[in-house]
Every structure is written in structure tokens, then in C-alpha cells.
Amino acid sequence: MNLYIIFIVTFLNCYVNGVLTNRLTMFRGRPNDMYGMVRPPVRDPDEVLKEIKPQYYDQRLNHFDDKDNRTFKQIYYTDDSHFKSGGPVFVMIQGEGDASPDWITDSSSFMVKSAEQFNAFTATLEHRYYGESQPFNDTSVEHLKYLSTEQALADTAEFIQYLTKKLSLNGKVIVFGASYAGALAAFFREKYPNIAVGAIASSATVLAEVDAKEYFGVVSDSLGTECSQNIREASQTLDELLTTPEGVKKVRQMFKLCDTFDTTDSLNVAYLIYNLAMSIAGAVQYNQDIDGICRIMNDPSGGTPLQRYAKQHGLPGDDDCYDVKYTDLVKAMNHTTKKGVGVRQWTYQVCTEFGDFVTTNVKDCLFGHNIPVHMHIQLCSDVFGPQITVQTIQKAVDTRNAYYGGRQPNVTNVVFSNGSLDPWHSLSVLQDLSNSTKAVMISGQGHGADMVYSANETQSLRDAHNLITNQLQEYLK
């Protein structure tokens, strides 16, 4: 059978045969499911939520060509449960996945908690090309042309103006977002300062880099010295084994790879190592069972570090093997069906806008040295066409950083919050930029953790939430 591990899963039901279902599968730092990089808040099963129906805004397809009057239906949700006349408007900017209305209704959403406190109207807009907000019937390269950060920001601007006018909402507007959408929130405040008075930008990956090599560096830090060192040793052994036919045979057995696994194409090797690495990194990114991983990796009774690493990754059933073929990945990514969960669209964005390619190019990388930038560029090129090269991506990255300001954006009224464990904090703002633009590092937390509220949250989360609340008070003065 042909069982993709992590990399190529485009539909949730593709990997339920594997044993990795209890952990988020990851693609390029984005979990392979409909929600993308930020998990919706987990509902309290006892809470009876007001049913929120999707509404549709006729959004302009291309904000940057006045002659083009095409539109598409963009989904949005609103809730006035906590709104009092004259109150502010809180808008959750959505990122690379389906928009969940829970963000604006569920009491475990920090934005909802804030809305209660500030009597705010809440709204959220699905990102173009994700979820049901599809401009076209497919995601062919030609049709992906209008998928970009700039179009998404302009969507947000048009939508907010439409909504506030339609409902006569005269209060100030604050935008929220996490991860890519956190960057969108910060960028929105930067570029549309006359529409939003402030932004809460959680785990906002504002810096673009072709080679996001710091990512695995943070993973190493988050796992701790001993655990990282064991993974490092496992990876070194693995890298060595993969250089000889006998070694490859051994790796196939240990990791239950199908016999077709072919190391003569280095992309297959990169693809294998990347899958293994991102399985660990994904757990770290969302602070899920780091202890469990390290328990296995640090337990000498599990054999050599490599044996522990193999055990850590689990094994398919007796009859299954992992079929690791880079070309299958390309094939899977070339599905241009409308209802994908967003991996293809997200890959298009990284390939054309910001890179942020996770590699093993950091010193003493715990995952060896077999994940080069080249693998990512090759995939971009194989999936979207040979016009994409390392030069075009570098140029896009440079343009983006010059335009948005990288890690030192010249922007007022933004809170940049990050989790200390989250490897993506390496692309965010970690220091206060001014009296009104603050950074807060939340110790012991992962990606976008502060978007969720809980009465039992850790002190570090509570501190971050208090800081955000204080800043909201300032921004809404």
C-alpha cells in the first residue's frame, strides 16, 4: 500500500491508517488539516453556543486592478452577544485554513473573553482561497494568481468598512490574529492604520527568510539538552547509514520504509528526514507531549538513540510500510481540487511570498544535515512551475521585508506575543518597539497559545493576557 507519512497528506483521512493520528501532522510548519497553523479553541462540551451562521461578502477578486470587477463569495461570521452600543469592533483575521466561528463565540477564545470585557462586536473573515472562500473552482496556478498577503489585507480593509457601515458600528476597530494571520494583523495595523487602531498579533511570523534555519535551533532548545542530544546522535547515525546500500537497508527495516525507497535521488532522503523531523517539531510547536517524546528519547532501555528515534515515530501495522517518494509528494500537491484543506494554497504562498523554509542548516542541527533549501525550492518549482527559483523567492522575501519591516516594523499599537517553546518565534518581534508596540514572550508555551483563554491558565499566559488587556485599554482610549 501507499501510505504517506506526514509530508504529503492533503486530506485528513489519508493518514488515519498510520499511528501518527494522535499528533498533528505537519507540512512546512503548518498542520495538514483544514485549520492550518492555529487550532480553534476547544469547546466546553457543556456550553451551549449561539449558532452562528456563515454570511457572504461579495469580495473583489483583484484589489489592484480597478478595471477588474470580478468578485467571489467570502465567508464571514459576526456576533453581537457582548456588544453594547458604541463598543469597539474586534476582528479575528483568519489565516491559511477554514474560518472557525468559535473564535468569535466560544468562551475559551481570548478574543471573546476580551469582547465581554470591552463590550465589543466580534467578527471574523475567512482568508481568500481557504475553506469555502474560493474564488475559482480549482486551485490551478493560473487561478492562484490572486492569492497573496496584499490581497488578503485589502480583503480585510474592504470587509471592515462594509461591515461597520452596514451595521453602523462606530467604535474603534482592533484586529487579532495568530501565526501567519498574526503577521496579517500586524501588517494590517501597519498598512491600514486609519481603519484599525491596534492589533493583537500572536506568534506573528513577520520576518520572511528563504532559509528559516533558526527553526530547528529553537526546537532543540525547547526539547532540552539531553533529549536534543539523543535526537542529534540518532540523526547522525541515520545520515551515515543512508550513505551506503547496507545502511539504507537497515534504515528501511527500522523505519518500516517500503522497498521502493530510493536514496539515489537525494530528494527522497531529504523528504524522509524532513518528515521525521517535522513530526517532532510539530509536537514542540504546539507544546504537545514534549515530555512523552523525551521520555522515549532519553530512555536507554529503548536501545541506541536511533532505535529510540524509530520507536518514537511509531510503526505502521505489520502489513504496512511507509512509501517515501518525493515524486508522489509532487503528484499529491498537484491536486487542484477546490476542497483541499489548504496545503497547496499555503505552499503557493510560501513559494511566491515568504519562503520560511525549514532546513538543517543551523549549527549542530539535531536533525542532521539532509534538509537543504534546495528541497523546498525544487518542490515549489515542480508543483508551480520552473519560473520559481531560489532567486525569485529571495527577491520576494527581500521585497516583503523591506515593505513590512521584518522584525523591526515601524508600527504603533501592536502586541506581539510569542511562545518560548515555539520554533516560529524566531521570525517574530521579541522586543518592545515603542511605548505602544509591545512584545511578550510566554514561557513554556507553543504557537498561538495566547489566543485561547482558560480560567486555569499558567502564570505566564495570565501575564500575557493582562498585558494584552492593558494595551487594548490604551488603544481604545
Which residues are at the interface with a copy of itself (CB under 8 A)?
64-67, 145, 148, 150, 157, 161, 190-195, 197, 352, 396, 402-406, 408-412
User: For a copy of itself, which is the closer residue by CB, 195 or 362?
Assistant: 195
User: Which 3-state string (H, E, C) describes the chain?
Assistant: CCECCCCCCCCHHHCCCCCCCCCCCEECCEECCCCCCCCCCCCCCCCCCCCCCCEEEEEECCCCCCCCCCEEEEEEEEECCCCCCCCCEEEEECCCCCCCCHHHHCCCEHHHHHHHHHCCEEEEECCCCCCCCCCCCECCCCHHHHCCHHHHHHHHHHHHHHHHHHCCCCCCEEEEEECHHHHHHHHHHHHCCCCCCEEEEECCCCCCEEECCHHHHHHHHHHCHHHHHHHHHHHHHHHHHCCCHHHHHHHHHHCCECCCCCCCCHHHHHHHHHHHHHHHHHHHHCCCCHHHHHHHHCCHHHCCHHHHHHHHCCCCCCCCCECCCHHHHHHHHCCCECCCCCHHHHHHHHHHHHEEECCCCCCCCCCCCCCCHHHHHHHHHHHHCCCCCHHHHHHHHHHHHHHHCCCCCCCCCEEEEEECCCHHHHHCCCCCCCCCCEEEEECCCCCCHHHECCCCCCHHHHHHHHHHHHHHHHHCC
User: For a copy of itself, which is the closer residue by CB, 92 or 396?
Assistant: 396
Please, what is the minimum distance in Å from the beta carbon of residue 56 to a copy of itself? Answer: 21
Please, what is the minimum distance in Å from the beta carbon of residue 178 to a copy of itself? Answer: 23
Please, what is the minimum distance in Å from the beta carbon of residue 206 to a copy of itself? Answer: 11
User: For a copy of itself, which is the closer residue by CB, 276 or 396?
Assistant: 396
User: For a copy of itself, which is the closer residue by CB, 22 or 69?
Assistant: 69
Please, what is the minimum distance in Å from the beta carbon of residue 383 to a copy of itself? Answer: 16
User: For a copy of itself, which is the closer residue by CB, 400 or 447?
Assistant: 400
User: For a copy of itself, which is the closer residue by CB, 77 or 404?
Assistant: 404
Please, what is the minimum distance in Å from the beta carbon of residue 201 to a copy of itself? Answer: 16
Please, what is the minimum distance in Å from the beta carbon of residue 191 to a copy of itself? Answer: 6
User: For a copy of itself, which is the closer residue by CB, 104 or 206?
Assistant: 206
Please, what is the minimum distance in Å from the beta carbon of residue 66 to a copy of itself? Answer: 7
